Chains A and B, each alone.
Chain A
């Protein structure tokens, strides 16, 4: 990283050290080899289940759709395992990962025998939770559904007359020949419409993660080759990735019989950055379940924010110990990632805390670090897209960059609702937080 000459007086922000680090092109996470190893190790461990998540999210959004009893929605058909990722493999629109476009080999191996290392009927693996836990992915999708108005044009579109008409066509087609469900639709149209919106969010998150999985696989490969010199390199790879993919379309199609119904057509011009990535970060990283954080839930004592935009229960505020109390879906995510940790991470966790006994806790702390790095990349990408280069010679421009960085970090320094105590940014500055 080239040194950037400071031309402003030092920041007086409570997190001034982090402000200065961001201004120098760094991440919210200190640049140490241990942090780099942890974040990349976790990207790899996250990317393999994510390769299942995005495929299944699309399958549910496109095929399961309004199935009233979706018992088998996690049983991914071969067609979706073979679905070519648009950002990996020889057929990629833009090749982010040099690997294959179909499901990752480690994922397929795990799906076959699971943790039990035994080939049993799929249903047994499913009931024993010896599988990829889609519950976490669905929680993230619901987080986006619950936190409407997180920006972008998709959110208002879901309330538009055009969307209602698209949904109406798909609902009538899906329940053709089913007078009971069609009758219920007549009685409770809003209920069915809300289910369509949820299916659209399934598709939206699936398309979002379709990009992130190959990005994380490629980062892991680069790290294994010794390609990243530090945390800022890893963050900058993400920033460039965010720009490169920013214009990828976000849409929702439903396949009913031989027909394709477009609930959100590509022609609306919705993009990965504005309609998926920014709302995802706002809803999942900052505000909501599945990570509940350390907060008390005494509403009478005013400990619950009155406004949804003040919620601060995302992964950046999560108390990962004991894992179960942070919520069931994060525990399931940790379990998913545990199966795909690179060997260097397994060795690392064995050396610290309680070794294998608290590996899920250590792993989730590493995950939190890696998500601070992703959030840093989103912040830096926002700075690059909407403001000025870090080395801009104009002091006024540099001041605007600073106002942006300080404003972003203010979200962690707020004292109302004890947000400053709940957030983990001060913890991740220290290596002893495990």
Chain B
């Protein structure tokens, strides 16, 4: 089997993610460390971000690293393992919010992203492919939504 990074490179649909991981010097960590669960936004997901977003992040590596780490959790969590968890702690420190709605025939949701391909096995973990880049929710977010 290949590593998380090898799979992302060979898939061809994670060019932006791979560039970002290289810029953040996370190739070794994600290539040999772990095991990790990686929620990997595809190129279409990065293309949804307004212009300039990636430019600023690539100019500022610690900040880029933080956003990338929000897409990674320590340990291996397959879709079946996540069904009983409403949240999963990311390496960034904030939680990822998981949702398994009935109106989705396959896959599940992570924050505002839908998992378009789940349970891609790698040597050092597992990959779930996201259609949207997810961002940590501020602490007031839950209160605002609950207040409606």
Interface segment out of the listed A52-60, A62-70, A268-276, A342-350:
A268-276
Kindly list chain B residues whose C-beta atoms are within 8 Å of the C-beta of A152: 138
Whether a CB of chain A sits under 8 angstroms from the CB of B145 is yes
Whether a CB of chain B sits under 8 angstroms from the CB of A23 is no
Kindly list chain B residues whose C-beta atoms are within 8 Å of the C-beta of A305: none
Contacting residues of chain A (372-421) with chain B, CB-CB under 8 angstroms: 382, 385-388, 394, 396-397, 400, 402-408, 410
Which single member of A239, A267, A396 contacts B103 (CB below 8 Å)? Answer: A396
B50 to A239, Cβ gap below 8 A? yes
Kindly list chain A residues whose C-beta atoms are within 8 Å of the C-beta of B138: 151-152, 274, 278, 382
A410 to B52, Cβ gap below 8 A? no
Contacting residues of chain A (193-250) with chain B, CB-CB under 8 angstroms: 239-240, 243-249
Kindly list chain B residues whose C-beta atoms are within 8 Å of the C-beta of A402: 148
Whether a CB of chain B sits under 8 angstroms from the CB of A153 is yes
Whether a CB of chain B sits under 8 angstroms from the CB of A82 is no
Kindly list chain A residues whose C-beta atoms are within 8 Å of the C-beta of B137: 386
Kindly list chain A residues whose C-beta atoms are within 8 Å of the C-beta of B140: 151, 278, 282
A243 to B53, Cβ gap below 8 A? yes
A-B pairs with beta carbons under 8 A, tally: 95
Whether a CB of chain B sits under 8 angstroms from the CB of A93 is yes
Which single member of A151, A248, A386, A394 contacts B135 (CB below 8 Å)? Answer: A386
Closest chain B residue, CB of each to CB of A402: B148
Interface string of A246-280 (1 = CB under 8 A from B): 11110000000000000000111111001000100
Interface segment out of the listed B39-47, B58-66, B79-87:
B58-66
Whether a CB of chain B sits under 8 angstroms from the CB of A94 is yes
Cα distance A26–B64 in the bound complex, in angstroms: 31
Q: Given A244-B52, A247-B56, A249-B60, A407–B148 Cβ distance below 8 Å?
A: yes
Which single member of B50, B111, B135, B147 contacts A240 (CB below 8 Å)? Answer: B50
Which single member of B49, B65, B101, B148 contacts A396 (CB below 8 Å)? Answer: B101
B148 to A246, Cβ gap below 8 A? no
Chain A nearest CB: distance from B26 CB in Å? Answer: 13
Q: Size band of the B side of the interface?
A: 20 to 34
Chain A nearest CB: distance from B39 CB in Å? Answer: 15
Kindly list chain A residues whose C-beta atoms are within 8 Å of the C-beta of B50: 239-240, 243-244
Q: Given A386-B112, A386-B135, A403-B145, A94–B56 Cβ distance below 8 Å?
A: yes
Whether a CB of chain A sits under 8 angstroms from the CB of B55 is yes
Chain A nearest CB: distance from B8 CB in Å? Answer: 21
Cα distance A245–B101 in the bound complex, in angstroms: 33
Cα distance A347–B62 in the bound complex, in angstroms: 48
Cα distance A268–B56 in the bound complex, in angstroms: 16
B144 to A404, Cβ gap below 8 A? yes
Cα distance A249–B67 in the bound complex, in angstroms: 13
Kindly list chain B residues whose C-beta atoms are within 8 Å of the C-beta of A388: 112
Q: Given A240-B50, A244-B55, A271–B66 Cβ distance below 8 Å?
A: yes
Q: Given A151-B140, A282-B140, A396-B101, A247–B148 Cβ distance below 8 Å?
A: no
Whether a CB of chain A sits under 8 angstroms from the CB of B146 is yes
Chain B nearest CB: distance from A150 CB in Å? Answer: 8
Max count, chain B CB within 10 A of own CB: residue among A153, A269, A394, A406 = A269
Kindly list chain A residues whose C-beta atoms are within 8 Å of the C-beta of B112: 386-388, 397
Chain A nearest CB: distance from B72 CB in Å? Answer: 14
Whether a CB of chain A sits under 8 angstroms from the CB of B136 is yes
Chain B nearest CB: distance from A167 CB in Å? Answer: 20
Q: Given A93-B56, A151-B139, A388-B112, A247–B63 Cβ distance below 8 Å?
A: yes
Closest chain A residue, CB of each to CB of B112: A387
Chain A nearest CB: distance from B93 CB in Å? Answer: 7
Kindly list chain B residues whose C-beta atoms are within 8 Å of the C-beta of A247: 53, 56-57, 59-60, 63-64, 67
Interface string of B70-84 (1 = CB under 8 A from A): 000000000000000
Chain A nearest CB: distance from B95 CB in Å? Answer: 13
Chain B nearest CB: distance from A33 CB in Å? Answer: 26
A394 to B103, Cβ gap below 8 A? yes
B59 to A269, Cβ gap below 8 A? no
Kindly list chain A residues whose C-beta atoms are within 8 Å of the C-beta of B143: 407
Chain B nearest CB: distance from A385 CB in Å? Answer: 5
Give 21 A-B contacts (CB < 8 Å), ordered by A residue: A93-B55, A94-B55, A94-B56, A151-B140, A239-B50, A240-B50, A243-B50, A243-B52, A243-B53, A244-B52, A246-B53, A278-B138, A278-B140, A385-B135, A396-B101, A403-B145, A403-B148, A407-B143, A407-B144, A407-B148, A410-B144
B contacts, CB < 8 Å to A: 49-53, 55-57, 59-60, 62-67, 93, 101, 103, 111-112, 135-141, 143-148
- Across the A-B interface, the 10 shortest Cβ-Cβ residue pairs: A244-B52, A406-B148, A407-B144, A269-B66, A269-B62, A247-B57, A403-B148, A243-B50, A407-B148, A407-B147
